[in-house]
A and B are shown apart, each in its own frame.
Chain A
Amino acid sequence: MRYLLRRTRHAVFLLFGASLLTFLFSALTPGSYFDEMRLNPQIAPETIAALRAQYQLDRPLPVRYLHWLNAVAHGKLGFSFAYNSPVAPLLWVRAQNTLLLTVTATLLAWALALPLGVWSAARFGGPPDRVLSWTTAALLVVPDLVLALGLLILAVRTGWFPTGGMVSVGFEELSPLQKFRDLALHMALPVFALVLAALPMLVRHVRASVAEVLNAAFLRAARSHGIPHAKLIFGYALRAAANPLISLFGFSLGTLLSGSLLVEVVMSWPGLGPLLLEAILARDLYVVIGGVLLSMIFLVAGNLFADVLLYWADPRIRSTASTE
């Protein structure tokens, strides 16, 4: 139990740190955002004055940070100048789309990586293992950007998949089944890109962890007891390898999020990515801060989930926790 508390404390620390970092970065901006805003005829001077007062831009940085932190705690993430609306609802819609993509991609990637990695480790050094090694090596050498763009061009030229957006025009009128199909088709390309980008590393790590466990003494003892092969792998090896694999899961979340940002922009998926990019180019300060913060929240939540999973899966954690 103490372990979980410790991890939660750690998660909170990460969040605070991330928010502080982002806020500090924003302090780098030369000149006041509101100077730029004042030049924008669409925004009324009263709004500017109100915002200035609200965000206390004349106060020193620590005060502004605390003030902003307080606002965030109340769910008010600021105001978007470009969209002329509060930030939070704007982010939330996009965040859902990003979550849809990243969760699907994560599940799919692990669903593929686990069996491939285990199979590869079980047939260590054999032809299938070597083919897999070469394939993952080849994929590793091709970075996400190249992969995503390549896939996009392929899709455009073959016309098999829609090349942008989340849903087709006239989505509303479709039946639930057709809606599902439409969404799936739109999701296919970005998910495929994300999975291809994440798969090589995952497969390699699964393979390495499982191989290491398969060679361990206790497993050889189990084999000599005549325990059938399949049970050996799934009942014993996988559970023993669970610890590093779950840690890997937590670690891979950060990379996945970065990857999803890029893929969303390239494939025009309406998630946090394109919003963030737009906001940066439009100097929409609070959208940027809010967007970055939201992605950090996802990351931290994902890591915490991994920690809970680890706690549940690995009895050693439960017992050592008390001796900490």
Chain B
Amino acid sequence: MKLRGKFTKWFVFLVLLHCVVAGAGFFAPYNPAEQDRQRPYLPPMRIHCMDAQGDLHLRPFFYPLRLREGSFEQFEEDTGTAVPLYFFTRGADYHLFGIVPSRLHLFGAAGARIYVLGSDAYGRDQLSRILFGGQVSLLAGLLGAGVTMLLGAVIGLAAGYYGGWRDDLLMRVAELFLALPWLYLLFALRAFLPLSVGPLEAFLLVVVAIGLVGWARPARLVRGVVLTVKERDFVRAARGFGASDIYLLRRHILPETASVLLTQAAILVPQFVLAEMTLSFLGLGVPEPMSSWGNLLATLQQYSVLVSYWWMYLPALAIVPFFLGYLGLASALQERFDTYKISEKSGWSRT
């Protein structure tokens, strides 16, 4: 089926992306916290196969950078020492998926550090930091989306099923949350939660804050489905056998909401990752030393960094393939379930 093909394509793409981030320990050459104060703010290094003499080497290599004569910020390659790259090499310790201890890395070098995406103020490898930072940001987004979907589903089910004043009240509140600008809401919520807490607590607070802000749209959509399904004869029939409310909700109504929930999840996850990035970038999210894409970008707030060290911007681009994947998935799901018709012609909608 053509539609199924679209869905699979995006799904596989996303799974691959997530695997790369989840396996950050393997794909990253170094431990993200490993500093090298001798080499702050090095630009990305180039990988060569042909050396300065014009010879071709089978094994790729790089030249370490050194400061140009008479300059404090210009670097040049030290073509005297060629440092070869090894693949599937042993490097720093890490725990794959947090459980399996390993020392295997996709690539590495002996003798000098390779900075594929440059280094930061403390000489930490940006590539490694981006990969590990992705774990934090993605996890925050996924967990936040989980909280929101749970909250939205419960509220939507309750409002739709029981109706009456409960429905009116809940939907009014939902309308309020929907009408207000999300970033302001998020700020307002985050502002009043404790600010100077440890990384783990900060992470959880961020997840909770994000999750609490976004429940309104899923709740409204779920409620819509419940209202329709509630009146269906098969629900009436089940009641005729003596089914309890919980049974009806669980076995008949909830499964019907699956399509709406899935589509919403695909739309919300990237937005929540972005929310975490925004919060951390502004100093309201995950603090150092835990790295997230957001706080990796925080250095850009210094003018000097902005002017001279353009590679510090790269963590921002890391989210783009995820946005692409999730939006593509959402669009495929929408087509499949025909959930909302903003217009069939408009293709994607980020609502």
* Interface of A toward B, CB cutoff 8 Å: 13-14, 17-18, 21-22, 25-30, 124, 133, 137, 140-146, 149-150, 152-153, 156-157, 163-164, 201, 204-205, 207-209, 211-212, 254-255, 257-259, 261-262, 265, 276-277, 279-281, 283, 288, 292, 295-296, 299-300, 303
Partner of A295, one of B184, B317, B342: B184
Q: Is the CB of B284 within 8 A of A280?
A: yes
| Chain A positions within 8 Å of B194 at CB level | 30
The smallest C-beta distance from B174 to any residue of chain A, in angstroms, reads 11
Complex interface bits, B299-310 against A, C-beta within 8 A gives 1, otherwise 0: 010010011001
Partner of A28, one of B173, B192, B348: B192
Nearest CB in chain B to that of A258: its residue = B183
Q: Is the CB of B327 within 8 A of A254?
A: no
Nearest CB in chain A to that of B177: its residue = A21
Instruction: Please name 30 pairs of A and B residues whose Cβ atoms are closer than 8 Å in the assembled complex, sorted by A.
Output: A13-B172, A17-B172, A22-B188, A137-B347, A140-B350, A141-B320, A141-B327, A143-B320, A144-B274, A145-B281, A145-B316, A146-B320, A152-B306, A156-B307, A157-B307, A208-B342, A208-B346, A209-B343, A211-B345, A254-B181, A254-B182, A257-B181, A258-B181, A262-B278, A265-B282, A280-B187, A283-B195, A292-B187, A296-B180, A299-B181
B3 at the interface (CB under 8 A from A): no
Partner of A141, one of B297, B300, B323: B323
Known: A207-B345, A280-B191, A295-B181. 14 other contacts (CB 8 A): A26-B192, A27-B192, A144-B274, A153-B306, A164-B303, A204-B346, A204-B347, A204-B348, A204-B349, A205-B342, A258-B181, A261-B181, A292-B187, A299-B181
- Bound together, the chains give a CA A300 to CA B182 distance in angstroms of 14
The smallest C-beta distance from B204 to any residue of chain A, in angstroms, reads 15
Tell me the chain B residues, 263-289 only, with Cβ under 8 Å from chain A.
270, 274, 277-278, 281-284
B189 at the interface (CB under 8 A from A): yes
Partner of A261, one of B184, B277, B324: B184
| Chain A positions within 8 Å of B281 at CB level | 145
- Bound together, the chains give a CA A29 to CA B194 distance in angstroms of 7
B176 at the interface (CB under 8 A from A): yes
- Bound together, the chains give a CA A150 to CA B314 distance in angstroms of 10
B52 at the interface (CB under 8 A from A): no
- Bound together, the chains give a CA A30 to CA B319 distance in angstroms of 34
Q: Report, as a range, how many residues of chain B touch the other chain.
A: 35 or more
Nearest CB in chain B to that of A279: its residue = B191
Nearest CB in chain A to that of B312: its residue = A153
The smallest C-beta distance from B197 to any residue of chain A, in angstroms, reads 11
| Chain B positions within 8 Å of A258 at CB level | 181-184
B313 at the interface (CB under 8 A from A): yes
| Chain B positions within 8 Å of A208 at CB level | 342-343, 345-346
Most buried by A among B191, B306, B327: B191
Most buried by B among A27, A141, A204: A141
Nearest CB in chain B to that of A20: its residue = B176
| Chain A positions within 8 Å of B323 at CB level | 140-143
Nearest CB in chain B to that of A16: its residue = B176
Q: Is the CB of A25 within 8 A of B188?
A: yes
The smallest C-beta distance from B249 to any residue of chain A, in angstroms, reads 29
Q: Is the CB of A18 within 8 A of B176?
A: yes
Nearest CB in chain B to that of A281: its residue = B283
B179 at the interface (CB under 8 A from A): yes
The smallest C-beta distance from A118 to any residue of chain B, in angstroms, reads 14
Partner of B316, one of A29, A149, A204: A149
9 interchain residue pairs of minimum CB distance: A208-B343, A258-B183, A208-B346, A17-B176, A258-B181, A257-B181, A280-B191, A146-B316, A254-B181
Nearest CB in chain A to that of B325: its residue = A141
- Bound together, the chains give a CA A279 to CA B195 distance in angstroms of 12
The smallest C-beta distance from B149 to any residue of chain A, in angstroms, reads 21
| Chain A positions within 8 Å of B345 at CB level | 124, 207-208, 211-212
| Chain B positions within 8 Å of A211 at CB level | 343, 345
Nearest CB in chain B to that of A11: its residue = B179
- Bound together, the chains give a CA A206 to CA B282 distance in angstroms of 34
The smallest C-beta distance from A80 to any residue of chain B, in angstroms, reads 14
- Bound together, the chains give a CA A30 to CA B300 distance in angstroms of 32
- Bound together, the chains give a CA A27 to CA B191 distance in angstroms of 11
| Chain A positions within 8 Å of B6 at CB level | none
| Chain A positions within 8 Å of B274 at CB level | 143-145
A254 and B306 contact, Cβ closer than 8 Å, known pairs A140-B327, A145-B277, A204-B347: no
- Bound together, the chains give a CA A261 to CA B310 distance in angstroms of 24
